[in-house]
Structure 1
Amino acid sequence: MKQRVPLTLAAVTAALAAVTGLATLTAPAADGAPAAAASGKTAARMPVERSLLVCPSPSTSDIADTAYTAITPGAAAAGGTGTARLLGATKDAKPVLELKEPGKPVGAKASGAEAPALTGTADGFLAPGWSAQQTTLVSVGRTRGLLGVGCTAPGTDFWFPGVSTAKGREDYVHFTNPDDDAAVVDIKLFGPDGAVKTEAGTSENIRIDPKSSKAISLSSLAPGAQLADVTAHVTTRAGRIGATAQVGEEGVGADWLPASIDPAGTLVLPGIPADATSVRLIAFAPGEEDADLTIRLAAANGSLTPAGNEQLHVKAGMTASADLKDVTRGEAGSLVLSPAEGKQTVPVVAAVRIVRGSGAKQDLGFVQAAAPVGQRATVADNRPEENATVLALTAASGADATVKVTASAGTEGGEPASKEVTVKAGTTQTLTLAPTGGKGPYALTVETLTGGPVHASRTLTLPRDGTPMFTVQTLSDDRSTVSVPQATQDLSVLTED
């Protein structure tokens, strides 16, 4: 039998306010299902109210020049308020840059080896889609090159197929801890023969202090190993981190290698440049089953299979690779990996190592398996110089897609420009788009209008002394909205059994 609990007027008012603010997932329906499902209502999507990004320390070179660019895409809302800033990943750090309103990028520069890792926080109307990138130019040295990386949300699990412990390679994994508590990290390495034996005490329980960053040399973890193709798996025992691999190859170049998306049966690696002189695919199957993959190149006029590299067999727990040489042959394309006909679906991770140029005039870049652009995705640092910025759009599935591409104003002025693009199923389309009269770096935002999914990447090329220095960044959904279940009243919380 229910008995009334004496309530004051203030208590009733507070209780009613709490009830009407509850998500329907907490309000039981007659059949035991959530109230939202019982009423036929679907959860609404609302803009996020806070976004967090982390950026690795750019370089150890004294002659490194780094540019930071950040933007929240879209137009300013009437009466909207918010803050967005990048600051050093240390306690009491001063802002490197601050954003004032959506739709207008801001930039900053740093020089030398002392530029720190950064954390970026945005709230209010500047949080949805908050994006930032750092681009570093090292013009000379053993591992000179153009190194670009998008700042990412912290996480707990990262896969890096494509790293190496071979002679002539200088590969590091950079960790950034944005939080007030220490993080604890493990690194596992897998080569062509399986797990790589690491030196005792070097690859487990790595402490990343609060508000700090740390770079770990992969060669130092396994001093005796000389492996060209390795997959690194980074997990946290405590806390969360930003993690990105930095690769330097003597006589070739340097760039960042972001984490592959989570293991999946079908992967898309979008936007291999048209003039790539060397393309090497690296894949890893983390489960207990071997993977047999069909390799296709989605190019401008359709999909084709690279001659001599139609399939790749990836043994469970081992890193496999395929030398695709100059597979694009003057036409930008995207690699699509899928289960071979008649074979089971086995989740894998993958990346490609790309070289442009030849001899002493070459540079190195990477494209990792990426998620689709989804509703909207942004890459923050693009340059208005002719042919500097090329956007690649791929519809890898059996459906055509239409997207809207918007170039924001530059950091130093200009007017936004937009264009709708239809991408035929199984093809990759390239596009150059810059703001009208734009000056300074600008952002590119891709929105899916119909069809899809669409995968995308942006190639930035800044030639130096005849070397096509370049970097490629993939675009993934900016997760600017979250699902918020419908609310309903349930006055039964005011009674007690």
Structure 2
Amino acid sequence: MKQRAPLTLAAVAAALAAVTGIASLTAPAAPAAEGAAGASRMPVERSVLTCPAPSTSDIAETTYTSITPGKPGARGTARLLTRDGKPVVQPKEPGKPAGAAASGAEAPPLTGFADGAMAPGWTAQQTTKVAVGQSRGLLGVACTPPGTDFWFPALSSAKGRLDSIHLTNPDDTEATVQVKLYGPDGLLKDKPGSPERLPYKVDPRASAKVMLSDFLPGTQLTDLTARVTVVTGRVGATAQIAEEGVGVDWLPASTGPTGSLVLPGIPADATSVRLVAFAPGEDDADLNLRLAGPGGSISPAGNEQLHVKAGMTASVDLKDLTRGEVGSLHLTPADPKKATPIVAAVRVVRGTGAKQELGFLPATAPVGARATVADNRLDDKATLLALTAAGGKDARVRVTASPGTDGGEPTVKEVTVKAGTTLAVSPPPAPTGAKGAYALTLETLSGGPVYASRTLTLPHEGIPMFTIQPFADDLSTVSVPKAVEDLSILTR
């Protein structure tokens, strides 16, 4: 057996340099010093976003706003691109938003990539206004990171509805996607004798639109839940709802499934609120419904609870739920010992008769450490910020208004949200001396958890055109295991 050659001092030094920072995945034999074990949070180094094609209307006017929260001066890149690689929006540094505009039905879906200091918390918003026609309305959606599993409650194949699911593939390889629909009686299957439905294919750096009318020809159901599951690759997914005579808007995916849900910021003047929920597991869900308003929480009269059968979509018409005050809907298990996971969303209508407009609000995750919504307007009546504290504790939140896309100075304000209430901030903080659109960033300082949404209202000829975007933790950091030096590798 050969003996190992002795290590020279230079060789040892080189080996030590090579292994510095290597993480040991096993516990050390002796107790480690405090702070050596566990993991730390580090900023992400790359972010990806997808934006669906805005509209099929020739008179659509679309605005894009993009920002990375933080202090200006740090280096990095961020770009929203067309399929052929043409840049549409390019913010230059953290803390300063960039904007762009597009007109007509030819505006394409976009994919975006950010790295370096521009990656942590990178956010983009797409807002489209269609003044007249069957597609009239205000459509707003945050560009979303790609994923592999999405839930969309509150879809419909009823008469007068034209709903679709938009899938955007940001990668250089094909993605395959399975779509399943669940109605009040469970999973909807193809008609007997029809061929088995194959997964949808989404080309590299391209988008596909799944029309519910094609998916279920001749089937009319008021309430549906869609599950989008990616078989290979990854996609961004968003649903678009068009309702004849009422309006058009986007529906982002619901958070969850989880046992308790919050839907923050239902407008004060809502004339109709319809809650749609789905229980994807094998157990039924019995839910308590509570509305958190400015003065506290109440149970909606006659709709204190909702029963959702396993694998089935349930709904309840809450009519004029908010009664003149901004409110947030809290769904909690009727039996705290049996928290059945659910997903949920609400369809909200403002206005009456021919002057109606609809919007959608999914259940959302907490603000967490930081969350941002872009494309807020300087008009005092255009932007409303709603914050709700759902965890039984008061919460302290820092609200930062960025500069505008055409300059200005940021503004910072701290607010307290009482437990079990919804705080409406209208107008919210706005930048000084600014022009153009700006971003609002929320940071949870204490207490919590806090849930939030932004309602953007741009009236047109007496129609209260609006759209609601929820805030959710921007996931700007990731957990990184702490490195532990293991010199024994030098003798292995």
Q: 1:488 to 1:344 in 2, by over 3 A?
A: closer
Residue type of the alignment partner of 1:170: L
Q: Alpha-carbon deviation of 1:14?
A: 5.2
2:274 is aligned to: 280
Aligned partners of 2:2 and 2:293: how far apart in 1?
A: 70
1:237 is aligned to: 231
Q: Deviations over 1:238-280 (max 9, x none)?
A: 0000000000000000100000012011000011011110000
Gaps of 5+ in 2: none
1:197 is aligned to: 189
Contact 1:284/1:319 (8 A) holds in 2: yes
1:139 is aligned to: 131
Give the alignment partner of residue 110 of structure 2, picking from 100, 118, 121.
118
Contact 2:23/2:485 (8 A) holds in 1: no
Gaps of 5+ in 1: none
Aligned partners of 1:144 and 1:94: how far apart in 2?
A: 28
Q: Paired residues, what number?
A: 488
Q: Does 1:98 align with 2:90?
A: yes
2:352 is aligned to: 358
Q: 1:192 to 1:446 in 2, by over 3 A?
A: same
Give the alignment partner of residue 179 of structure 2, picking from 179, 184, 187.
187
Q: Alpha-carbon deviation of 1:28?
A: 4.0
Aligned partners of 1:201 and 1:380: how far apart in 2?
A: 44
> In the TM superposition, what are the counterparts of 1:383-462 in structure 2 within 5 Å?
383-431=377-425, 432-462=428-458
Contact 1:390/1:460 (8 A) holds in 2: yes
2:286 match: secondary structure: strand
Aligned partners of 1:262 and 1:2: how far apart in 2?
A: 59
1:154 is aligned to: 146
Report sequence identity in percent.
67
Q: Does 1:481 align with 2:481?
A: no
Residue type of the alignment partner of 1:119: T
1:311 is aligned to: 305
Q: Does 1:328 align with 2:322?
A: yes
Aligned partners of 1:113 and 1:240: how far apart in 2?
A: 26
Q: Alpha-carbon deviation of 1:204?
A: 3.3
Q: Alpha-carbon deviation of 1:397?
A: 1.6
Aligned partners of 1:169 and 1:10: how far apart in 2?
A: 74
Residue type of the alignment partner of 2:123: S
Q: Deviations over 1:121-171 (max 9, x none)?
A: 111111111100100011111131000000111000000000111111110
Contact 2:36/2:484 (8 A) holds in 1: no
1:68 is aligned to: 64
Q: Alpha-carbon deviation of 1:2?
A: 11
Q: Deviations over 1:428-447 (max 9, x none)?
A: 00112211122110000000
Contact 1:378/1:475 (8 A) holds in 2: yes
Contact 1:295/1:312 (8 A) holds in 2: yes
2:19 is aligned to: 19
2:237 match: secondary structure: strand
Q: Does 1:175 align with 2:200?
A: no
Q: Alpha-carbon deviation of 1:398?
A: 0.5
Q: Does 1:225 align with 2:224?
A: no
Q: Does 1:29 align with 2:23?
A: no
Residue type of the alignment partner of 1:167: K
2:248 is aligned to: 254
2:93 match: secondary structure: coil
Give the alignment partner of residue 492 of structure 1, picking from 455, 475, 488.
488
Contact 2:288/2:306 (8 A) holds in 1: yes
Q: 1:87 to 1:43 in 2, by over 3 A?
A: same
Contact 1:203/1:221 (8 A) holds in 2: no
Aligned partners of 1:294 and 1:2: how far apart in 2?
A: 74
Q: Deviations over 1:301-329 (max 9, x none)?
A: 00000001100000001100000001000
Aligned partners of 2:323 and 2:5: how far apart in 1?
A: 78
Runs of 4 or more off by more than 4 Å in structure 1?
Answer: 5-14, 35-40, 199-203
Contact 1:4/1:495 (8 A) holds in 2: no
Query: TM-score scaled by structure 1?
Result: 0.94
Q: Deviations over 1:347-387 (max 9, x none)?
A: 00000000000111111101100000000000011011121
Q: Alpha-carbon deviation of 1:224?
A: 2.4
2:293 is aligned to: 299
Aligned partners of 2:286 and 2:5: how far apart in 1?
A: 66
1:425 match: secondary structure: coil
Give the alignment partner of residue 264 of structure 1, picking from 248, 258, 263.
258
Q: 1:9 to 1:148 in 2, by over 3 A?
A: farther
Query: TM-score scaled by structure 2?
Result: 0.95
Q: 1:184 to 1:10 in 2, by over 3 A?
A: farther
1:220 match: secondary structure: helix
Q: 1:471 to 1:491 in 2, by over 3 A?
A: same
2:351 match: secondary structure: strand
